[in-house]
Amino acid sequence: MSYVYGGFLSFLISSYNGDMLTNNKYVVIEGIDGAGKTTQKKLLVDYLQLNNQVVCDIKEPGGTRLGEEIRPIIKNSHIIRSAETDFELFNICRRELAQQVIRQELSLGHWVVCDRNWFSSLAYQGFGQGLSVESIVTQTKKSLTDLFLPDISIIIDLPIDVAFNRLRKRHDDVSSDNFESRGLDFYKKVRDGYLWLIKNYSIHKIDGQQSIETINQSIIELVQD
């Protein structure tokens, strides 16, 4: 068992009172590649489960049979398509995930913790690729209705050069190649998209340059409110 999933979890158990988890919530953790969102999502899921909460752990795109079928197409950079097509594929996956999984899990009193949601489309297809932000918001509201905004939205913010260096150090060839092929200017626009979301919606910004422990503490404090 690694440090993150070993000693650190023991630290969590001793440091936080699970009795403060009164109501289930829909939580989304977002950020650019390298920001640490996947690690933080796993830590949050583990924390909730250790405190006897039932958790639906999901990521985008995916989570449904249709989403898992579409995911390889979205991830295949060799298939040339427009930003509009990219967004439509994500939106289809998102709509089915909301209808088939998220709404049902919440109705059962379960927590839902998701790695990415439509914030990624606004940042990547909107700010990054130039798709209309207004169009993304309008279509997403139509698809997700009451689930348009999660109960808790978190964006882990990180400077682009720091994110790229992290990916190189952990030998994440796919994400590193994406950075190099698209260029740092593209990812600066993506980060601008996330910062726009933080400014215009009720989204919590967390400094991704902090330690894993500090970021996790901040997230757990948010879910306990």
For residue 148, give the nearest of 156, 157, 135, 137 by alpha carbon: 137
DSSP the chain: --TTTTHHHHHHHHHS-GGG--S--EEEEE-STTSSHHHHHHHHHHHHHHTT--EEEEESS-SSHHHHHHHHHHH-TTS---HHHHHHHHHHHHHHHIIIIIHHHHHTT-EEEEE--HHHHIIIIIIIT---HHHHHHHHHHHHGGGSS-SEEEEEE--HHHHHHHHHHTT-HHHHHHHHHH-HHHHHHHHHHHHHHHHHTT-EEEETTS-HHHHHHHHHHHHH-
- Residue 185, C-beta contacts closer than 8 angstroms, at least 6 positions apart: none
Radius of gyration of the chain (CA): 17
pLDDT of residue 7: 57
Sorted by where each begins, the domain ranges of the chain are: 7-224
pLDDT of residue 10: 56
Angle 160-169/184-200 helices, nearest 10 degrees? 120
- Residue 159, C-beta contacts closer than 8 angstroms, at least 6 positions apart: 191, 209
pLDDT of residue 134: 97
Superfamily grouping for domain 7-224: P-loop containing nucleotide triphosphate hydrolases (3.40.50.300)
pLDDT of residue 75: 87
Binned average pLDDT, 10 residues per bin, the chain of 225 residues? 52 58 92 93 96 95 95 90 95 97 97 97 96 98 97 97 85 56 87 97 96 97 92
